Structure 1
């Protein structure tokens, strides 16, 4: 397989922030007297916060973002961990000369914090975060920007993610895509967006690049 560049979503793909995200939403909704089911909260995991909160209450969106981020950062380091086999796979990919980047809907500073806490920050040649783009995923801009930074060709690039935004952003940018079966949304849901591959273990990437 001729893959030279791999772009990764961060939350839910490389690092497990699901519980942290969930708790941050619950805390925020409680604070603003809102009530959502666990299923509804699950749907908010992925899109930019601004989009989620503006759809709920345009007037209170900014205040909600502030409440969410405050809680999220206060509890960040005790919740966040890398998914199984992430670190050793990144190590192997690096040894094979694969260029790697992060494409996330998080703010840059929080993304870097998560990468540092989990010890994966040294593997990536670029980070495209929410504050680096005009249009978030599923728009192709974040993927295209990462490719530009890494001097990557679309036919030799793979975008890996746990959310339909990741797969669609990859499709829109004309690159190959991989979903992760450990996505909270579930493998079947991700398959509906026709990723090129489905990873059941992070080490599956090694097979894809032919190691």
Structure 2
């Protein structure tokens, strides 16, 4: 069956936003807990949205609301210094649109930080649906977000691709019964080794574009 929808993870897949996430978490945990966290320590906390990460891991429980506001302050104000637009990603999304392929986002980010990054990097109308960490009960690798996105787009698993850079992304896609694409094409991703084998793996965006639009526009 022809693919009619391509769903994407966000951080590390469509946007090289992990550095601003790391920076903002490091600032918050240093300020409130006097802890200097390494990147690997922060990655080990990933799963829930940044709200959940701070709620679950900050020791200063009485200051969680303050810490969250500071996180978003750092994220917003330093975004342009850490994250640049990726023109290959932009071209990919526009090419999908030109072929009538629906696009959507399924991310563990909270809605607030997602909207900040979208404002800086993309036109809002590029994505037909966006499911954030605030919109699900169970984060990836649970398939809830992918299933919600497919339902919103009116697409079946057989006609949907899910593209992500982490093992949680690939597992979520497998559990949703969609075809999965593992990528490590941005400078900062969750890593190049997939413990759960995706249906396709790409290290370069142009190779993915070539595969998508082979045979005079036919999709995989």
Q: TM-score, normalised by structure 2?
A: 0.83
**Cα–Cα, structure 1 residues 51 and 111, in superposed 2: closer, same or farther, change >3 Å?**
closer
For 1:102, what is the secondary structure of its paired residue?
A: strand
TM-aligned CA deviation for residue 101 of structure 1: 0.4
Distance in 2, Cα, partners of 1:163 & 1:61: 31
* Match status 1:174 vs 2:177: yes
**Cα–Cα, structure 1 residues 169 and 179, in superposed 2: closer, same or farther, change >3 Å?**
same
8 Å Cα contact 1:84-1:202 kept in structure 2:
no
8 Å Cα contact 2:9-2:163 kept in structure 1:
yes
**Match for residue 149 of structure 1 among 137, 145, 152:** 152
For 2:180, what is the secondary structure of its paired residue?
A: strand
- Structure 2 residue runs of 5 or longer lacking an equivalent are 215-220
TM-aligned CA deviation for residue 75 of structure 1: 2.0
8 Å Cα contact 1:11-1:17 kept in structure 2:
yes
Tell which deviates more after alignment, 79-88 or 16-25. Answer: 79-88
TM-aligned CA deviation for residue 91 of structure 1: 1.1
TM-aligned CA deviation for residue 17 of structure 1: 1.0
Distance in 2, Cα, partners of 1:119 & 1:34: 34
* Match status 1:98 vs 2:132: no
Distance in 2, Cα, partners of 1:46 & 1:75: 23
**Match for residue 64 of structure 2 among 62, 69, 72:** 62
Alignment correspondent of 2:218 = none
Q: TM-score, normalised by structure 1?
A: 0.86
Alignment correspondent of 1:48 = 49
For 1:105, what is the secondary structure of its paired residue?
A: coil
* Structure 1 runs of 4+ with >6 Å offset: none
TM-aligned CA deviation for residue 127 of structure 1: 0.9
Aligned length, in residue pairs: 209
TM-aligned CA deviation for residue 41 of structure 1: 2.6
Alignment correspondent of 2:189 = 184
TM-aligned CA deviation for residue 205 of structure 1: 3.0
Distance in 2, Cα, partners of 1:115 & 1:209: 24
Alignment correspondent of 1:75 = 78
